[in-house]
Amino acid sequence: MTSRWGRRHRGCDADVMMRIDLHTHTSASDGTDEPRSVGVLAAAVGLDVVAVTDHDTTAGWDAAIAGAPAGVRVVPGVEFSCVVGEGERRVSVHLLGYLFDRAEPRFAAERRRLRLDRTDRGRRIVERLTTAGVPIEWPAVQRLAGGAPIGRPHIAGALVTAGASSTVDDAFETWLRPGGPYYVRKRDVDVRDGIAMVLAAGGVPVFAHPRARKRGRVVTDDVIRELAAAGLAGIEVDHVDHDAADRVELRTLAGELGLIMTGSSDYHGTNKAVPLGANTTDPQAYAEICRRASGTQPARC
């Protein structure tokens, strides 16, 4: 088919009926489903395409691809922690990278650095909690993570197990919110460098949930304009953390800047309430992502 951008895409025949979810997490990061189950779960909710976008790791790719049933395409990706601005103006942002070459050394090294930093930062959060008398132990956090890069959801899970919080949500609210006394930042890369790294590895960079205000401060539209000029390919428009007005404004901005618009669940299994396939991506947008990628292509394309 011919895409909205007027060129035939390579590799991916995306037909208009396809249901596509381009943002999910597995137990390779802070989701609760094993990577090998993602394709089966996707098929069960009527998805044809599912991206695996674990935080700062590609460790789930192979199992996700191997476990997908016939008819489900797996898009290998990552959700990469980045930052915009400094000091008072610092905003933490998440960059989705799709279909990049995971062996490209610079990006691979940055993901490795981020994973190590997550361990260091997780320990420091646990130390702060312990010092305050909260009954949480680092080995319990490590057990919950099961070798995955440590995320606050793992610490939240350990807080629930220890009886310090009633739910993961409550743990975030009480102990783990940014700016709170127990919060420790990650040492994230500037998002412009993040975009450059994804592009240099043949991938397609998409700004995840740019208006997710409940997670903290968000960037202005002018920052998105600058990032589009720096090579950002798309923005996630349909996301559980965006209200109707956000979505309308982001569509207008994407139209102005020629950005690809995506929609996704940001599924985390039982770590979050949102179901797989809660938001989906237009097949033409998916086809455009495939067309622009040179790192790898979706499995079962």
Nearest Cα to Cα of residue 74 among 102, 104, 108, 49: 49
Beta carbons of 264 and 23 less than 8 angstroms apart: yes
Candidates 149-157, 205-213, 217-225, 249-257 — which segment interacts with ligand AMP by CB under 6 A?
149-157
Minimum Å gap between C-beta 80 and ligand AMP is 11
Minimum Å gap between C-beta 55 and Zn ion is 7
Counting contacts by CB under 5 A, is residue 261 touching Fe ion? no
CB atoms within 10 A of CB 91: 16
- Write out the binding residues for ligand AMP, residues 35-94 only, by CB under 6 A: 55
Counting contacts by CB under 5 A, is residue 208 touching Fe ion? yes
Counting contacts by CB under 6 A, is residue 111 touching ligand AMP? no
Which of 21, 54, 79, 246 binds Zn ion (CB under 5 A)? It is 79
Candidates 9-17, 165-173, 174-182, 205-213 — which segment interacts with Fe ion by CB under 5 A?
205-213
Total residues at interface with ligand AMP (CB under 6 A): 11
Per partner kind, with CB cut-offs from 5 to 8 A, the member of Zn ion, ligand AMP, Fe ion, none near residue 188 is none
Per partner kind, with CB cut-offs from 5 to 8 A, the member of ligand AMP, Fe ion, Zn ion, none near residue 142 is none
Cα gap 238→233, rounded to integer Å: 16
Per partner kind, with CB cut-offs from 5 to 8 A, the member of Zn ion, ligand AMP, Fe ion, none near residue 271 is ligand AMP
Residues 11-40 as x/- pattern, contact with Fe ion by CB under 5 A: -------------------x----------
Candidates 213-221, 222-230, 264-272, 292-300 — which segment interacts with Zn ion by CB under 5 A?
264-272
Q: Quick one: tokens of 262?
A: 């995506």
| Nearer to Fe ion among residue 27 and residue 142 (C-beta) | 27
Counting contacts by CB under 6 A, is residue 283 touching ligand AMP? no
Counting contacts by CB under 6 A, is residue 142 touching ligand AMP? no
Counting contacts by CB under 5 A, is residue 266 touching Zn ion? yes
Chain position carrying tokens 């959700």 = 79
Residues 11-30 as x/- pattern, contact with ligand AMP by CB under 6 A: -------------------x
Binding positions for Zn ion, rule: CB under 5 A:
79, 266
Binding positions for ligand AMP, rule: CB under 6 A:
30, 55, 151-153, 168-169, 172, 268, 271-272
